[in-house]
Structure 1
């Protein structure tokens, strides 16, 4: 009996060849989508300008979302707690856990995101960019919740944090 584990192939994304999605307050660099990783993970990098809101409160039912702050500071909501991640900080948010993120007040942020297991998220990120640029209707995001495992929730705690930092 062969007990070998089926593995995906190595994934290399050169910076100069990576697709980027830009909106007025951030740039997302698409690194590896699930189809290139045997659905093991999806990864992208986002740079947020000062005052940029990354994502409203939401949760995923299937994926753990990993955050690594390359530089700057990122304000995050996890459940009902808001905290600041600094350069070098790492955060893992398990499925069904409400979370949100934005550049911390007065800061910009450069963050590596990884989702595991992977799912096709690049189309979602492209859609976000089109909505932010006014090229698509925000209703398309709500309609895509199941497809992209991105479920938005109300969070008075996150709303209050955003208002306090405005």
Structure 2
């Protein structure tokens, strides 16, 4: 579907949006991989008038999803479809199980990994969107040894992904964060 201006009537009032409905068929969605997860790219900010980015990640048992980081502009949401996801929020660690939903506000340090002994299937959304698909593609290339890790560090402002130190998360992962 293409991006265009739409006039819609809802509850008797006209609403103008700057993007068309977005439909991503699962069988046609782009995927990117790293050694322990598969990311299915669903809707990027360019498709949604900058309003959101959405993708689905499936994590292998024991997979470490992301080191401690924060976003300055975007709220990040997690919906666990299946399995269990261990999440750092600020200085606290919690486990999200299938059906659990979490929203992390901008500026809040967080990290995530599959819970011990579990896989995880998670829908992630970012509002507003931040062109994250290029970041996910880059991350996959770095983790596969196809790109220099410095590229991730250099892209922190572009992708609103700022890594932070978290002794709590490092200890949780046994010093392997």
Shorter-normalised TM-score: what interval?
Answer: over 0.9
Distance 1:89 1:3 in 2: 34
Q: Does residue 138 in structure 1 map to residue 149 in structure 2? A: yes
1:36-51 superposed matches below 5 A: 36-51=47-62
1:5-84 superposed matches below 5 A: 5-84=16-95
Give 4+ residue runs of structure 1 displaced > 6 Å after superposition.
none
Q: Which protein is bigger by CA-based radius of gyration?
A: 2
Which secondary structure does the structure 2 equivalent of 1:163 belong to?
coil
TM-score normalized by the length of structure 1: 0.95
TM-score normalized by the length of structure 2: 0.89
Q: 1:154 to 1:36 in 2, by over 3 A?
A: same
Gaps of 5+ in 1: none
Gaps of 5+ in 2: 1-12
Q: What is residue 152 of structure 1 aligned with on the other side?
A: 163
Measured on the aligned residues, the alpha-carbon RMSD in Å equals 1.5
User: Which structure's relative contact order is higher, taking Cα pairs within 8 Å and 6+ residues apart?
Assistant: 1
When the two structures are aligned, how many residues end up with a matched partner? 164
